[in-house]
């Protein structure tokens, strides 16, 4: 695969180039090492593409998992406690998880355990490889990366997406770089409030 496009939100790429250039080079090398043609193994059953050989999201995700895992990129979770009271959530949002639970319970409300998980984190940089449905990307960009940033677990979030030219050779409903770039840009310069890098890849 090759990187066709990148978009830096809130100076995400600039931060990486200045503070963690080795991680950026490592990520570029991983992307370049994956032969997308080797994962064009899914035979479509959809009406409009029946019998056509498509890129397999599962196989490509597995390739990234193996290569990034070998370089020390690993799974990470951010845990937190929620409740039905919005004012109470605002009050406990920035507290450590244990204190969130205590504060909610002390207020007479029920504390509900929750967490966000990301597959690839290394040296305070999170990477999501997203060859799945549209909704998953929105969750990554506007919830997951933000949760890790607010929780002081990452400095930058990175989202790897297929370009439209590649997505056209995948099952329907898969998100693509150009569409998600539009979704980020239309929110305005400060939303989401986390430095991000969108990477568009093609075969």
The SS3 call for residue 52 is: coil
- Of 138 and 4, the one with more pLDDT: 4
Q: Are 164 and 201 in contact (CB under 8 A)?
A: no
How many domains are there within the chain? 1
81 belongs to a structural domain:
no
Least confident among 137-141, 179-183, 196-200: 137-141
89 belongs to a structural domain:
no
pLDDT at 119: 87
Orientation of helix 12-19 relative to helix 21-33, angle to 10°: 110
105 belongs to a structural domain:
no
96 belongs to a structural domain:
no
Report whether pLDDT(193) > 80.
yes
Give the C-alpha distances (Å, rounded to integers) separating 58 from 64, 106, 116, 170. Answer: 10, 45, 21, 11
Q: What CATH number does residue 125 fall under?
A: 3.40.91.20
80 belongs to a structural domain:
no
Q: Which residues contact 50 (CB under 8 A, 6 or more apart)?
A: 44
Q: Are 161 and 130 in contact (CB under 8 A)?
A: yes
Q: pLDDT per residue over 39-87, tens digit each?
A: 998 887 877 777 788 999 989 999 999 999 999 999 998 889 999 999 9
Could you give the CA distance from residue 67 to residue 64 in angstroms, rounded to a whole number? 5
35 belongs to a structural domain:
yes
Specify burial of residue 95 (Cβ count, 10 A radius: 0-12, 13-18, 19+): middle
Give the C-alpha distances (Å, rounded to integers) separating 193 from 65, 141, 155. Answer: 27, 10, 11
Could you give the CA distance from residue 82 to residue 112 in angstroms, rounded to a whole number? 5
Q: Is the pTM value of this prediction over 0.85? A: yes
Q: Can you give the residue range of the structural domain that contains 167? A: 2-75+118-202
Q: What is the mean pLDDT of the chain?
A: 93
Q: Are 158 and 196 in contact (CB under 8 A)?
A: yes
pLDDT at 42: 86
Q: Which residues contact 68 (CB under 8 A, 6 or more apart)?
A: 30, 120, 127
**156 forms bridges with which residues in the sheet?**
125
Q: What confidence tier does 150 reach under pLDDT thresholds 50, 70, 90? A: confident
180 belongs to a structural domain:
yes
181 belongs to a structural domain:
yes
């Amino acid at each position: 695969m090759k990187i066709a496009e990148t978009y830096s939100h809130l100076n995400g790429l600039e931060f990486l180039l200045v503070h963690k250039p080795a991680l950026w080079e490592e990520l570029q090398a991983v992307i370049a090492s994956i032969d997308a043609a080797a994962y064009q193994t899914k035979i479509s059953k959809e009406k409009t593409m029946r019998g056509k050989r498509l890129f397999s999201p599962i196989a490509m995700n597995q390739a990234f998992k193996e290569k990034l895992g070998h370089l020390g990129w690993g799974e990470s979770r951010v845990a937190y406690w929620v409740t039905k009271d919005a004012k109470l959530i605002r009050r406990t949002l920035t507290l450590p998880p244990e204190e969130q639970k205590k504060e909610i319970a002390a207020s007479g409300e029920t504390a509900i355990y929750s967490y966000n998980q990301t597959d690839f984190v290394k040296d305070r940089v999170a990477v999501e490889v997203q060859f799945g449905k549209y909704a998953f990307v929105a969750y990554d960009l506007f919830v997951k990366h933000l949760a890790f940033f607010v929780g002081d677990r990452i400095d930058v979030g990175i989202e790897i997406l297929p370009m439209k030219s590649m997505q056209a050779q995948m099952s329907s409903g898969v998100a693509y770089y150009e569409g998600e770039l539009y979704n980020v840009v239309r929110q305005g310069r400060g939303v989401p409030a986390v430095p991000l890098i969108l990477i568009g890849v093609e075969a």
